[in-house]
Amino acid sequence: MKRRLILPEKQLDIVLSRLCHQVIENFQDFSDTVLIGLQPRGVPVANILGKKLHKLGYKDLPIGLLDATFHRDDFRRKEEPIKANKTNIPFQVEDKHVILVDDVLFTARSVRAAMDAIITFGRPRSVHLVVLISRKNSQELPITATFVGKQVNTMKTERVEVQWNEPDGLNGKVWLVDSKSGNVQA
């Protein structure tokens, strides 16, 4: 088992705070801006960003959940139907700046699906992507993130694992796991 810590707790917190400030720098007062966490693993990231922004005085930023399962491009190509997660977007998307949030940008296929999915709720003024980790040179589609927490060099056999601390999930660690060298439990 090969498991390498790439973002310890303290650094992860700094990265998340930096992402918040980058978002503030670009969207200023957040009028007409919404934050949407991509199911399943982008949701905790979106919630933390939301909480941090709340502390910084941006209290009315709407946060939603988006599941892009039905917009994926690999349906009927797997043995089992893909399980879906909850979608909850209790606000208008039409003419808003949408900030999609995910934990890891890998092949970028799920982001493609999410962009298609978000359009079924309305026509956003713009769509941006915030990711905690971006895996270098592994995208299979011409998509990059607007704001990146950390860029990492990875191999295809490796997996990036984000672990959130229980119970509040306000902080955590990021690991790089090589699945080729044995079974790894998160």
**Beta carbon nearer to another protein, 67 or 161:** 67
Whole-number minimum distance, CB 57 to another protein, in Å? 32
**Beta carbon nearer to another protein, 92 or 151:** 92
Interface residue list for another protein (CB under 8 A): 67, 69-72, 75-88, 116-117, 119-122
**Beta carbon nearer to another protein, 39 or 134:** 39
What is the distance between the alpha carbons of residues 103 and 39, in angstroms, rounded to a whole number? Answer: 10
Helix (H), strand (E), coil (C) string for the chain? CEEEEEECHHHHHHHHHHHHHHHHHHHCCCCCEEEEEECCCHHHHHHHHHHHHHHCCCCCCCEEEECCHHHCCCCCCCCCCCCCCCCECCCCCCCCEEEEEEEEECCCHHHHHHHHHHHCCCCCCEEEEEEEEEECCCCCCCCCCCEEEEEECCCCCEEEEEEECCCCCCCEEEEEEEHHHCCCCC
Whole-number minimum distance, CB 62 to another protein, in Å? 17
**Beta carbon nearer to another protein, 19 or 89:** 89
Whole-number minimum distance, CB 102 to another protein, in Å? 19
**Beta carbon nearer to another protein, 74 or 166:** 74
Whole-number minimum distance, CB 142 to another protein, in Å? 20
Whole-number minimum distance, CB 55 to another protein, in Å? 31
